[in-house]
Amino acid sequence: MISDWDVPYRQSLHEALAMLNGQWTVAMLSTLALGERRYTDLMAEVNGAEARVGWVSHPKPVTPKVLGNTLKRAQENGLIIRRADGDQMGNSVWYRLTPKGKELLRALRPLASWAQQNRDSLTAGTSDDGT
C-alpha cells in the first residue's frame, strides 16, 4: 500500500527529472554555472569538456540544432535566460542561469556525489547485491 507521502514525493521527483530531460541538459547547465556564455562559446565549452574526459558521457559532439533545442527547453522551464546583443541578425546571443537553474544544480550535487561513490557498480551495470 502506498502511503500519502509517496505519491507527492514520486510526482515531485518525476517533475524534477523531466526538467533534466535530454542528454545535453546537465552539460549545458553545468557549463553555464561558470557564468554567462555566448551561444558559440557555450557549444565549444560543452564539447571541449566532453573531449577532455574522452567522450564517456556522449558519443559525439552536441550539434547546433540539439543545443538550440536544449536551450529552448531550459528557457521554457525557467532555468536559463537568453539575451541578444542588438536588434539585428548576426549579433551575439548570451545565456545565463536563473536563480532556479542555480538551485537545481545545487540540488544535483548529492546525486553527483552518490554517483561518484558508486561509479564502479554504475559502469558495470550491476548493484552491490549482484543484480
Span 18-32, pLDDT tens digits = 888 888 999 999 999
Distance CA 71, CA 73 (A): 5
Give bridge partners of residue 82 from the DSSP assignment: 95
Q: What is the pLDDT of residues 45-102, one digit of tens each?
A: 999 998 888 877 788 899 999 999 999 999 999 999 999 987 656 668 999 999 999 9
Give every CB contact of residue 20 below 8 A, 6+ residues apart in sequence. 26, 104
Stated pTM of the model: 0.80
Q: What is the pLDDT of residue 109?
A: 93
Give CATH for domain 18-116. 1.10.10.10
Give bridge partners of residue 80 from the DSSP assignment: 97
